[in-house]
């Protein structure tokens, strides 16, 4: 099978390392990101909309958008890694390390979660309205219902839960990253077996944590609203963003000279298929959530969508249908698009942008009926770009300093992945 065998390069081949041109971006990106983040916060506090705690509330919400955006990408990557082990996937070995590096940002992002945690302690309801002591009276919520609500939505209990989520997710990320890296040196097959055996329970932990984290961190922004599908909705966006991020990072690595021969058009084709599939999955889930609420037409459920169909949010809501679903759906439908890495790369960037709009649309309407004016929009964009800069810079810095390979060089399934072909 001469056509199917690939000459395996030695494990310390330079093309398996992070290209220097990317590694050198680490410090500028991180510093630039931190500066933008600070500037964004200052602009938000000064030019944000509203009276009293209004600007603080706006800025914290924008910060939550930025945090959720980066966190959801890493979260999706963690799931990508778990699911590849769970189904003993062969094709994905050449891109799995990219996902592993991205998911390792979860422990670092846990530190960036601290401002959100502090904000949740505010008795003014700076970020989460349920923290405000007068919420029930000012929103006409019956006292006995509110008493039950705040049993769960109290800042102490919220803090405990958030720490549990972050510890569990960080633990999974670090565990899988460490084992995969150890295999780079030793090549033990038992490591793969161990990772596979633990991926089943890990996926269960992951899905519970994701669901409840989505409830706590995002859904509780509207304390009286509930949708059991909300966790899946956040997961759908995350896993889509993860596939896009993996395709984008792989393309950039190849453009700078790394893993050029290892990742082929076949792998892009598969990533493209998953992007296409998860675009549809996201739509399926978000529409299912909408349809039930729309049909039931009960005020306590519809108000979440009602808020998002007022003023500028209305055009964003309709925009999501066309630009988060229809446009990429038609664009990624053809095999010819998915077999052109440059097009897959372009669609990945486009969908990552749409993922931001999605998160923005989930969080910001709870702050107020407007986008927050020019200052507010600028603050949101600066905060998000700052967070992305910090996120990307941190990942590059860690990869460079620790000499992390960008390919799982001794994975027992690497030859299978190298020889992978779509029929």
Which one, 139 or 335, has the nearer CB to another protein? 335
> If binding is defined by CB under 8 A, does position 298 make contact with another protein?
no
> If binding is defined by CB under 8 A, does position 314 make contact with another protein?
no
- Residue from 31, 145, 291, 374 that binds another protein (CB under 8 A)? 291
CB contact set of 167 (below 8 Å; sequence gap of 6+): none
Q: Least separation, in Å, of the C-beta of 329 and another protein?
A: 12
Handedness of CA 326, 331, 334, 338 (dihedral sign): negative
Region near another protein per CB under 8 A, out of 31-39, 227-235, 286-294, 387-395: 286-294
Q: Least separation, in Å, of the C-beta of 344 and another protein?
A: 18
Q: Report CA 365 to chain centroid distance, whole Å.
A: 20
- Taking CB under 8 A as the criterion, which residues in 112-131 touch another protein? none
Degrees to nearest 5, angle at CA 217 with 198 and 178: 30
Region near another protein per CB under 8 A, out of 2-10, 95-103, 146-154, 183-191: 2-10
> If binding is defined by CB under 8 A, does position 6 make contact with another protein?
no
- Taking CB under 8 A as the criterion, which residues in 392-421 touch another protein? 421
CA distances from 13 to 134, 214, 227, 261 (A): 63, 41, 50, 12
CB contact set of 382 (below 8 Å; sequence gap of 6+): 36, 37, 39, 40, 43
Which one, 3 or 51, has the nearer CB to another protein? 3
Region near another protein per CB under 8 A, out of 30-38, 63-71, 206-214, 290-298: 290-298
Region near another protein per CB under 8 A, out of 118-126, 160-168, 289-297, 406-414: 289-297
> If binding is defined by CB under 8 A, does position 294 make contact with another protein?
yes
- Taking CB under 8 A as the criterion, which residues in 319-338 touch another protein? 333, 335
CA distances from 410 to 187, 307, 406 (A): 5, 52, 12
- Residue from 111, 114, 298, 423 that binds another protein (CB under 8 A)? 423
Region near another protein per CB under 8 A, out of 136-144, 283-291, 370-378, 398-406: 283-291
Q: Report CA 201 to chain centroid distance, whole Å.
A: 21
Instruction: Point out which residues bind another protein (CB under 8 A).
Output: 1-4, 287, 290-291, 294-295, 297, 333, 335, 421, 423
């Amino acid at each position: 099978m001469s056509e199917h065998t690939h000459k395996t390069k030695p494990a310390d081949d330079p093309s398996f390392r992070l290209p220097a041109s990317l590694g050198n971006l680490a410090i500028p990106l991180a510093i630039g990101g931190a500066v933008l983040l600070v500037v964004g916060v200052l602009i938000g506090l000064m030019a944000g909309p509203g009276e009293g705690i209004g600007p603080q509330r706006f800025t914290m919400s924008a910060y939550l958008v930025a945090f959720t955006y980066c966190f959801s990408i890493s979260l999706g990557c963690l799931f990508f890694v778990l699911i590849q082990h769970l189904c003993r996937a062969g094709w994905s070995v050449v891109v799995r390390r990219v996902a592993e590096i991205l998911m390792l940002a979860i422990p670092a992002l846990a530190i960036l979660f601290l401002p959100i945690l502090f904000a949740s302690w505010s008795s003014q309801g700076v970020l989460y309205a349920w923290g405000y002591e007068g919420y029930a009276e000012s929103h006409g919520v019956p006292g006995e219902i509110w008493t039950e609500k705040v049993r769960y939505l109290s800042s102490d209990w919220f803090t405990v839960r958030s720490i549990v989520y972050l510890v569990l997710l960080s633990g999974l990320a670090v565990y899988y990253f460490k084992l995969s890296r150890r295999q780079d040196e030793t090549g033990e097959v038992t490591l793969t077996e161990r990772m596979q055996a633990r991926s089943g329970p890990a996926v269960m932990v992951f899905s519970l944590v994701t669901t409840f984290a989505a409830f706590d961190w995002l859904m509780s922004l509207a304390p009286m609203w509930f949708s059991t599908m909300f966790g899946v909705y956040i997961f759908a966006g995350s896993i889509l963003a993860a596939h896009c991020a993996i395709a984008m990072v792989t393309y950039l690595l190849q453009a700078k000279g790394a893993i050029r021969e290892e990742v082929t058009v076949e792998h892009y084709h598969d990533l493209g298929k998953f992007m296409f599939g998860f675009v549809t999955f996201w739509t399926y889930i978000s529409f299912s959530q909408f349809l039930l609420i729309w049909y039931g037409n009960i005020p306590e459920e519809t108000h979440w969508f009602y808020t998002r169909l007022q003023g500028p949010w209305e055009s964003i809501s309709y925009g999501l249908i066309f630009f988060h679903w229809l446009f990429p759906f038609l664009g990624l439908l053809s095999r010819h698009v998915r077999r052109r890495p440059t097009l897959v790369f372009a669609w990945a960037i486009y969908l990552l942008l749409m993922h931001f709009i999605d998160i923005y649309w989930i969080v910001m309407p709870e702050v107020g009926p407007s986008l927050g004016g020019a200052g507010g929009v600028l603050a949101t964009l600066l905060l998000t770009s700052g967070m992305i800069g910090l996120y990307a810079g941190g990942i590059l810095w860690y990869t460079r300093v620790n000499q992390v390979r960008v390919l799982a060089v001794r994975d027992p399934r690497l030859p299978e992945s190298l020889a992978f072909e779509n029929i």
